[in-house]
Chains A and B, each alone.
Chain A
């Protein structure tokens, strides 16, 4: 019984690290640009599809496939940024209408990118070479899959890396200034549209990394990857607290734990139901998310 609980917790954390990685990229865009990017998952999917194609043609190694995924996702992300986000962010006074237009535009491109991917590789399922081909690790009575451990390590590394980037570099200073007071940042000589573009590219690249690790762990690629990634990223971000990087990790891990335990307690059909229920309840009661709750900060107005 205790072993089951421990195993489920471990599984949940492993699953959650994938969600955390997805959430980090999504959060970066939302935290800096204050916009939701509905094409986030589809861009990742295109990257994964590109890697799948490369694998089909050349049977390349893990590093090449990872780089292709990241490059593909970043390129797709750049396309989305130029078409949907750059045109609507020109002046600080754009307001909510521009945010909604960006989001709907990104939804339109979601449809576009998904169709592109399925036209490129039409099958419902493609195999994908795993990152690690050996048996899972054994920790006493518990099993640990190495790929998921890699994901967790990546999520933590990315979180630290981003922290250093934001707090110790000139670019990070610019990003924080833009988040703090976009107009004052403009007046300080910061090229705000360029900052947005670079942050978007970074977020897309992170998404690509997450995508590669996820498809390598699942050992398959399906057309559902686009919606799945966006959804999990958004839910994890919401759970953890909108726009907070540590919140993204906390939210991702929390989502993983919720799913693992729900599935074990109530069966797979109830797993998503409970996750959505908890998300709904959290939004209704404490929209600032779990991270804010943990730090006991007052709930800011949503």
Chain B
């Protein structure tokens, strides 16, 4: 496999005195779908927020395509080709769907390219096209998830981060979201995905990690661990630490 696109080494992130990440190390291979599974409170979202620059790591290194991005401002990191689809979508509720997409392309100046991309994304997500003038806050959960993904794609990222894309969505919608994830990957986007829904995630991932209480406790390909073992640790955490 090619060199890792994203390398996270010994990252520690704390909220005041509470360490949410206690030395996380993992790598995301170029062209792969890599998955991080773990129970609630294990640090998945904290890792996503730290990697994207919203939170600052206290220690450790985060390298994107070989360049250090730890400590950089979020807009800087977007400029380097990484975009995060955040937990709970965070669509711009008072802006139209098209404006949401335009915001995702904020750093780009190529008007024609932006319009092209918007058209292309509307082609891939026809539900969004149908609602292009509607305000983001009026969309359903699944549509908001698609909007959040589409918005992140507008910056043409090399690496797409996704924080619990299945959260709060009906099973049919979840299947569609993961179908889109697989498709995006086939078309060339590297994806680093954090999930609690281990079953769906393992279906698409090339490689996965388990995170428990702020540390990575397992690394391997799907099938390396029995699925029910993975699911148990993803939801409940392993009993031996």
Contacts and interface: CB of A to CB of B under 8 A. Distances in A.
Direct contact of A and B (CB under 8 A): yes
22 contacts: A91-B56, A173-B102, A173-B106, A174-B103, A176-B99, A177-B95, A180-B94, A181-B91, A183-B54, A184-B91, A185-B92, A186-B53, A186-B73, A187-B54, A187-B86, A188-B151, A189-B75, A189-B79, A189-B104, A190-B103, A191-B75, A192-B74
Contact of A188 (B54, B94, B155): B155
B107 interface: yes
The 3 closest A-B pairs by CB, nearest first: A189-B78, A186-B74, A184-B90
Contacts of B56: 91
B195 to A, nearest CB: 19
A92 interface: yes
Q: Which of A170, A189, A192, A193 has the most CB of B within 10 A?
A: A189
Nearest to B84: A187
A189 B54 contact: no
Contacts of B86: 183-184, 187
A187 B78 CA distance: 7
Contacts of B92: 176-177, 180-181, 184-185
Interface residues of B, number: 28
B204 to A, nearest CB: 23
Contacts of A191: 73, 75
B90 to A, nearest CB: 4
Interface of A: 91-92, 170, 173-174, 176-177, 180-181, 183-193
Q: Which of A173, A181, A186, A187 has the most CB of B within 10 A?
A: A187
Contact of B95 (A176, A186, A190): A176
B83 interface: yes
B90 A183 contact: yes
Interface string B163-187: 0000000000000000000000000
B119 to A, nearest CB: 19
Given A187-B52, A188-B78, A188-B106, 14 more contacts: A173-B95, A173-B106, A181-B92, A185-B92, A185-B103, A186-B53, A186-B74, A187-B78, A187-B83, A187-B90, A188-B104, A189-B79, A189-B155, A192-B74
